[in-house]
Amino acid sequence: MGIEIERKFLVTGDGWREQAATQTRFSQGYLSREPARTVRVRIAGDQGFLTIKGATRGATRAEFEYPVPLADAQALLAMSDGPVVEKIRHLCTHEGMTWEVDEFLGANAGLVVAEIELESESQAFARPAWAGAEVTGDARYVNANLAVSPFSSWSE
Q: Which tens digits make up the pLDDT trace of 93-108? A: 999 999 999 999 999 9
For residue 56, what pLDDT is reported? 85
* 136 Ramachandran zone, left/alpha/beta (phi>0; psi -120 to 50): alpha
- Tell me whether residue 30 is one of the annotated catalytic residues: yes
Q: Which letter does DSSP use for residue 45 in this model?
A: T
Question: Could you give the C-alpha distances from 64 to 5, 20, 122, 137, in angstroms and in order?
Answer: 13, 26, 22, 21
Spatial separation of the C-alpha atoms in residues 112 and 127, rounded to whole Å? 16
**What is the CATH superfamily name and number for domain 3-153?**
Hypothetical Protein Pfu-838710-001 (2.40.320.10)
Residues of the chain with pLDDT below 50 are: none
Coil, helix or strand at residue 151: helix
pTM of the model: 0.94
Residue (of 2, 8, 16, 6) closest to 123 by Cα position: 6
For residue 1, what pLDDT is reported? 60
Marked catalytic residue, from 30, 99, 104, 141 = 30
Spatial separation of the C-alpha atoms in residues 36 and 19, rounded to whole Å? 35
For residue 144, what pLDDT is reported? 93
For residue 86, what pLDDT is reported? 98
Spatial separation of the C-alpha atoms in residues 57 and 45, rounded to whole Å? 30
For residue 57, what pLDDT is reported? 86
